[in-house]
Amino acid sequence: FWLKCVVAQIWVSTCGHHRSITRVVRNWGAHPQEGEVGPPSTMEERMSQLVGGEASGGEGKGFKGLKGKGFMKGKGKGDFMKGKSKGDGDMAAAALAKGKGKMKGEEQMMTMQAPAQQQVVYQRQSRNAGIHTIEIYVPQFWFEQTEMEEYDARPDRYGPSVIGKYTKGIGQIQARFNTDDEDPVSFCMTVVHRLLERIEEKGFNETGRYQPDGNALGIYHAVGRIDVGTESIVDRSKSMKSYVMDIFERYGDGESNIEGVDQYNACYGGQAAGLAVLSWVESDRWDGRYGIAVASDIAEAHPFFIAFVGAATTASLFFPDAPLAHHSQRATCIMHRLDFCKPVGWHDMAPVTDGKYSVECYLDALDACYKTLRKKVNDRELFQLTDYNVFHTGGGYHIVKKAFERMLRNERPECRGSERDELTAVRLHPSCHILKRVGPCHTVSSFLNTASVAMSQMQEALGKVIMVFTYGSGCAASMYQLRVDDIAYFDPLEVWFLKRFYRNSIKMYPGDAHPIHMVFVETWMKFEYKPFGRQTHGQDLNLLEDDVYYLGEIDKFGRRFYHRGGLKARPLDKKYELPADTAEGRPTRKHWGPLPEAKKAIEDVSKSDEARRRQIEYDMTFDHEAEEGNFVEIGEFNDTYQKEQKVRILKPLPDRKQHGTTIEPDGQSHSYQIVGTWSSRTPVDMEQTSDVSWYFDFTLGENRWEEFYLLQDGDPQRRIYPHEAKGSKESVAVGPHDAGPSNHWFIDCRDRVDVPEEQLGMPGDRYRITFRWKKLKEVSWQKLEGEKGEVEPSRYSVAGSWTDFELQELRPETGRRRGWHSTEVQMTSLGLEFRIVRNEDFGQSIYPIPAKKEERSCGKNAAVCGPDALASTYWKVDGILGGIYKLKFYRDPEDCESTGMRVDWTKVDDRPVVEVEPTYYLVGPFNEWGQKDMRKMRHPPNDLSLFEGEVEVKEMVDEKATEKRKFMMPFKIVQHKMPTRCVHPDKDRCSQLTDHKVVMDDKGKDLSWYIGLHPTDKAKEGDVFTVKLQIAPSGEMSVSWSKS
């Protein structure tokens, strides 16, 4: 045994694993008796690949092994694992072997060479696969079982005999249930999205260990398989897993390469999903990504059986080197039984069941799995091999306890009284903490109970084994073992109860519980349905959880539509919208009514609204760069514990200047201007009504929305703006200030769920904006009822590739109905890519929605979006060089929605190609790599082959250098503002002295020049360098720079 441990340690160190030796040895399972066939060990499978070098050896008996008298056994002298050796075993680890085993004669067996470098190979790399964490979701509503007993003890229900039945009899403490705005599908979407966000937040994404470049995959691309297990399907064809994929498609840029569908079976579907995902992770088709097994079910209950309700969902994360590794053998029992079923077309959501017979089938399956597993482990007692027991929860804790006691009688029939109670407390009770507070939840229960063990025991469970028995009526059951190799990614149970389980929960009195739950039960076979349970039963919609998916509608075809945050949440951000939303006519949040009126939260009396507003303004105006000037650097030192890390020590100056103070009225006379979309963002004076009040009236344009900010004394450096993007009346006014974000107040007068009724308006309606500054700054607006104004005609331009995306006017067409605009352009080598801009304002861009998110350009049939500031795509004309194309744009003057717009083009002529003179632009951190603007390079007089531009050096963090902070500035060059024509070096971090080539293509994302990287640049803070791009007659390019 100890020799085996030594070789195991060699194996561990060679593989690069850092788990304990106990983990490796226990993974081999029970030692087979001499003469018996046991499972092949990891050592036997991998020895030839993982162990290298020569080790001196001598005489000895070696290891016991498979058949025969010994594994690697011999009496010959020589080097261990090498040379000539004699032995009676069936394998002699030698290059030449003689003996009575299966391999006789001088046959070459295996050559052991230490690999020069361990390479990442996907196939067959998975070891100790199992569960890394389990995300749990339970609905908000719950009740106390003691109160339920009192309620059911009334004469009109069960009477006094029910007292103690649910608590002492069944063993339950509480129960969880839902209403009609949640179902098993919404449960699945919630638990998977929460799991992904927790991985991201806690930083335990380990996919980089199995990627060739060592970098972890983005979380929405880090999952390779998802299986959903349930007995509560909502569609006989469309899988619940496909609903979950909506998350990856929206947030993962169209990610769809994720295997798996649904596993459907009463109470066992979740376990089937778990075993399917485990098999994938252990297979040679595993690709280095996570597997997720989702179990989702609702144990619905009619009014007279509400005590037996339960609902939960789990998402179990499978990956190699798991804290909860699947261990040793497992057993399964599947038989044809009719104890429980839900026939197609059955009139009720509830099952057809024989309760007593179902318990008998449960215990029969337990006996069958127990006998099979004992046989597989050489008839050893399972209590000797395991430390904790997890059982499927049928009707409650009493079923679990009954199963445990039955197994205990099989193992130790003499066990009685206090000894039995002690074993129950130590081995069973750790698995029951959650189920007692949730109730029966079908296919979820085994994962829920496993999580209970992990969270309640934490480090106490290290090195121990959990035996899990899971069962589903009909019937199907499995028994397997989990080895606790590490502390899994869980919060301790008490912390989880506070953070997740009870934090947003809603306690219900039993008399109120069954009516609101019954609304869900009655959704069975419903079509053209919108949930109403919470509203009807007086539940505040503001209590909906922000990160939970809720059912929004079931349409006339039975299709279901969900929204994260439910009716409490605003519509989904446009960047997450999918082409399929429009193509399939999916109803969304805007179709389900207005946002609920927010109730004012009870704020801390120690912090008034004025103090809160002042704090926000302080934070918004705090100048971090200027604040650095208040400190002097003492020096840079090595960190005490991490020697490779440098620490800068700063000392505050005695005459330290304050930054970020709240701007107060200065008592001087000032004028105020308003900069809004109605005037193409040109400042217009506001009218003064008193010393502290100003106003401005405007006419609503055809967008039916406007945005604005304010200026003091017409000075662009003295902006007044809201603390948040698209500010409302409640937003905090910040300023006058010369920095900060480019926020605007947003007046939306369209028919939207978050727009108040009194704010709705049509083009031509008049509105008044009022600014007051007495003590705190206030900005508000109101509709001037009955007043009308003349709508200023919109002007439209096209921003296209042939003009470096500068604006070219679209002229209104005569002879056609009002709303058509057009222009003619020629096809050149630059192509024809364009978008439409309203009133020369790029914040009002009109652009196409691509069929796939990764696409940058679209044809004329793409859906139209805008006007807004979110444009990132273009229309693209496919044609021949020299062709003249007429670009046409139509907007219905009576329709503010994007559905009232159309873009089209036709070829009208052919002419000789007139190519555009090349232009070049500098991009870098100084303009967010071209996102803000692009810095155009100019010709010096009389030299058309040279382009020049200026770049200013700043102090920046250099993660790849020993000295982390340097005065430098990276940059690259773009031709015609087109990312596909990026001028860059063929190496990253190039200085002028680096040997490199200058190329122009679309592969320069991570390749830049760095001014100040080389000491010869002598760069300092604020230095301005002139960058020169020289183009030879042959087309060869060179880039250089010097101080201006």
Q: What is the pLDDT of residues 423-451, one digit of tens each?
A: 999 999 999 999 999 998 889 999 999 99
Confidence at residue 1042, expressed as pLDDT on a 0 to 100 scale: 94
Bridge partners (DSSP) of residue 1031 are 1037
Residue 412: which of 424, 398, 425 has the closest Cα?
424
Distance of CA 160 to the CA centre of its chain: 50
Annotation marks residue 628 as catalytic: no
What residues have CB less than 8 Å from 168, skipping those under 6 apart? none
Residue corresponding to tokens 């039984």: 337
pLDDT-based confidence at residue 534 (cuts at 50, 70, 90): very high
Identify the helix (H) or strand (E) that includes residue 1001: strand 998-1001
* Strand pairing report for 777-788 and 765-773: antiparallel
With a cut of 50, say whether residue 80 has pLDDT above it: no
Confidence at residue 264, expressed as pLDDT on a 0 to 100 scale: 92
With a cut of 90, say whether residue 833 has pLDDT above it: yes
SS (H, E, C) 386-454: CCEEEECCCCCHHHHHHHHHHHHHHHCCCCCHHHHHHHHHHHHHHHCCCHHHHCCCHHHHHHHHHHHHH
- In this structure, what DSSP letter does residue 40 have? P
Per-residue pLDDT reduced to its tens digit, 209-241: 999 888 999 999 999 999 999 998 899 899 999
Confidence at residue 28, expressed as pLDDT on a 0 to 100 scale: 36
Per-residue pLDDT reduced to its tens digit, 257-294: 999 999 999 899 999 999 999 999 999 899 999 999 99
With a cut of 60, say whether residue 462 has pLDDT above it: yes
Confidence at residue 655, expressed as pLDDT on a 0 to 100 scale: 67
Residue 62's CB is within 10 A of a number of other CB atoms, namely 20
Residue 829's CB is within 10 A of a number of other CB atoms, namely 10
Per-residue pLDDT reduced to its tens digit, 10-27: 444 444 333 333 333 333
With a cut of 80, say whether residue 381 has pLDDT above it: yes
Long-range (24+ apart) CB contacts under 8 A made by 680-683 are 680/839, 680/840, 680/841, 681/841, 681/843, 683/711, 683/714
pLDDT-based confidence at residue 395 (cuts at 50, 70, 90): confident
What residues have CB less than 8 Å from 248, skipping those under 6 apart? 220, 223, 255, 256, 258
Residue 667: which of 774, 771, 772, 770 has the closest Cα?
774
- Residue 484: exposure state from Cβ atoms within 10 A (0-12, 13-18, ≥19): buried
User: Which of the residues 135, 149, 267, 982 is marked catalytic?
Assistant: 267
Per-residue pLDDT reduced to its tens digit, 542-577: 999 999 999 999 999 999 999 999 999 999 988 899
Confidence at residue 117, expressed as pLDDT on a 0 to 100 scale: 40
Residue 886: which of 858, 859, 911, 905 has the closest Cα?
905
Per-residue pLDDT reduced to its tens digit, 147-174: 999 999 998 888 888 999 999 888 899 9
What is residue 165's three-state secondary structure? helix
With a cut of 90, say whether residue 134 has pLDDT above it: yes
Confidence at residue 597, expressed as pLDDT on a 0 to 100 scale: 79
Confidence at residue 466, expressed as pLDDT on a 0 to 100 scale: 96
Residue corresponding to tokens 């009195």: 509
What is residue 678's three-state secondary structure? helix
What is residue 758's three-state secondary structure? helix
Distance CA 163, CA 158 (A): 10
Annotation marks residue 34 as catalytic: no
Distance CA 24, CA 485 (A): 10
Within 13 Å, how many C-alpha atoms sit on residue 216's CB side? 12
pLDDT-based confidence at residue 740 (cuts at 50, 70, 90): confident
Per-residue pLDDT reduced to its tens digit, 850-894: 888 778 899 999 989 999 998 989 999 999 999 999 999 999 988
Confidence at residue 14, expressed as pLDDT on a 0 to 100 scale: 42
Distance CA 208, CA 284 (A): 18
Residue 488: which of 291, 199, 228 has the closest Cα?
199
Distance CA 562, CA 138 (A): 17
Identify the helix (H) or strand (E) that includes residue 466: strand 465-472
Per-residue pLDDT reduced to its tens digit, 995-1011: 999 999 999 888 999 99
Are 312 and 136 within 8 A, CB to CB? yes
Residue 135: which of 392, 318, 390, 391 has the closest Cα?
318
Are 339 and 144 within 8 A, CB to CB? no
Q: What is the CA radius of gyration of the chain?
A: 36
Residue 142's CB is within 10 A of a number of other CB atoms, namely 22
Residue 366's CB is within 10 A of a number of other CB atoms, namely 23
Annotation marks residue 537 as catalytic: no
Confidence at residue 832, expressed as pLDDT on a 0 to 100 scale: 96
Residue 229: which of 392, 395, 444 has the closest Cα?
444
Confidence at residue 113, expressed as pLDDT on a 0 to 100 scale: 39
Flag the least confident range among 521-535, 761-775, 956-970. 956-970
The residue with greater pLDDT, 119 or 560, is 560
Residue 224: which of 207, 239, 236, 209 has the closest Cα?
207
User: Which of the residues 231, 282, 553, 948 is marked catalytic?
Assistant: 231
Beta strands in 235-338 (DSSP E): 262-264, 290-299, 310-319, 324-334
Flag the least confident range among 47-51, 551-555, 611-615. 47-51
Query: Which amino acid is located at 980 in the chain?
Result: T
Identify the helix (H) or strand (E) that includes residue 833: strand 832-838
The residue with greater pLDDT, 1011 or 960, is 1011
Alpha carbon separation from 213 to 119, 208, 258, 980 (Å, rounded): 11, 8, 21, 25
Confidence at residue 751, expressed as pLDDT on a 0 to 100 scale: 86
Bridge partners (DSSP) of residue 437 are none
* Strand pairing report for 84-87 and 96-99: parallel
> Both tokens of residue 941?
């007089």
Evaluate the omega torsion of the peptide bond into residue 492 and state whether it is cis, within 30 degrees of 0: no
- In this structure, what DSSP letter does residue 102 have? S
Are 174 and 144 within 8 A, CB to CB? yes
Confidence at residue 65, expressed as pLDDT on a 0 to 100 scale: 37
Alpha carbon separation from 975 to 76, 366, 531 (Å, rounded): 76, 72, 55
pLDDT-based confidence at residue 943 (cuts at 50, 70, 90): confident
Flag the least confident range among 647-661, 701-715, 793-807, 953-967. 647-661
Identify the helix (H) or strand (E) that includes residue 251: helix 240-251
Distance CA 192, CA 185 (A): 11
Flag the least confident range among 91-105, 250-264, 287-301. 91-105
Are 528 and 554 within 8 A, CB to CB? yes
Mean pLDDT computed over every residue of the chain: 84
Evaluate the omega torsion of the peptide bond into residue 139 and state whether it is cis, within 30 degrees of 0: no
Confidence at residue 491, expressed as pLDDT on a 0 to 100 scale: 92
Task: Record the pTM.
Answer: 0.66
Distance CA 279, CA 771 (A): 65
Confidence at residue 899, expressed as pLDDT on a 0 to 100 scale: 86
Distance CA 447, CA 294 (A): 10
What is residue 2's three-state secondary structure? helix
Per-residue pLDDT reduced to its tens digit, 655-707: 665 555 557 888 889 999 999 999 999 999 999 999 899 999 999 999 999 99
User: Which of the residues 326, 392, 433, 821 is marked catalytic?
Assistant: 392
Alpha carbon separation from 261 to 157, 251, 276, 332 (Å, rounded): 43, 20, 10, 22
Distance CA 404, CA 408 (A): 6
Confidence at residue 622, expressed as pLDDT on a 0 to 100 scale: 72
Are 315 and 195 within 8 A, CB to CB? yes
